[in-house]
């Protein structure tokens, strides 16, 4: 059964939870189970563009996004606050890269790399990406807001965890997520790191 369960931040997360046959029959009557789909197993296949809830009779535990993109091309004028926020978080420093295979020197800005990163998270969520570490000694710089932005963008496929989650033996609520954000100022224990 799909259930909207509040997480530790009191945000509702859609979860697919097992039910006993007897509970289903109590709720819906005998014979109802004949109409309930049965699956071979659970899988986790991330896809935001061509999402399938069932693949080869296996139930996909990855969550579809809560929105569908607009057909029109997005410009900076469509989302000026997001653009300014990302520039604030990542800056616009020039990064030099020497592509030895092509024999070319390239330049990017950190802002452009951030946009590429977010685009890949959306368009190709199976691609392994570098781990982002947003570090600042100051408070109120936007690190937690960026975590919340990722949560809005990717929905239930993003988990925001803390020290207690990382040091716990239980990781079921974030084991299937595509993005896991550690929103802590300091990880206290070496074994957690």
Q: How far apart are CA 48 and CA 15, in angstroms?
A: 18
Is 52's pLDDT higher than 80? Answer: yes
Q: Tell me: the pLDDT tens digits for 21-37? A: 999 999 999 999 898 88
Please state, in angstroms and as integers, the Cα–Cα distance from residue 153 to each residue in 29, 56, 68, 106, 187, following that order.
39, 28, 11, 29, 26
Mean pLDDT of 72-77: 90
Is 168's pLDDT higher than 80? Answer: no
Its pTM stands at 0.82
Q: Tell me: the pLDDT tens digits for 102-122? A: 889 999 999 999 999 999 999
Q: Which of 69-78, 129-138, 158-167, 182-191 has the lowest mean pLDDT?
A: 182-191
């Amino acid at each position: 059964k799909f259930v909207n369960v509040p997480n530790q931040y009191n945000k509702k997360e859609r979860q697919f939870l097992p039910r006993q046959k007897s509970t289903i029959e109590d709720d819906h009557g005998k014979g109802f189970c004949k109409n309930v789909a049965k699956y071979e197993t659970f899988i986790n296949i991330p896809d935001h563009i061509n999402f399938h809830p069932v693949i080869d009779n296996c139930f996909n535990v990855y969550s579809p996004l809560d929105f569908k993109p607009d057909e029109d091309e997005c410009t900076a004028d469509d989302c000026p606050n997001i653009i300014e926020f990302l520039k604030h978080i990542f800056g616009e420093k020039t990064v030099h890269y020497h592509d030895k295979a092509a024999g070319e020197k390239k330049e990017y800005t950190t802002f452009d790399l951030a946009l590429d990163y977010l685009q890949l998270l959306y368009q190709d969520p199976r691609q392994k990406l570098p781990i982002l570490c947003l570090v600042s000694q100051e408070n109120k710089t936007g690190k937690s807001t960026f975590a919340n932005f990722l949560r809005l963008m990717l929905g239930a496929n993003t988990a925001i965890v803390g020290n207690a989650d990382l040091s716990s033996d239980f990781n079921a609520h974030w084991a299937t997520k595509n993005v896991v954000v550690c929103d802590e100022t300091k990880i206290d224990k070496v074994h957690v790191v």
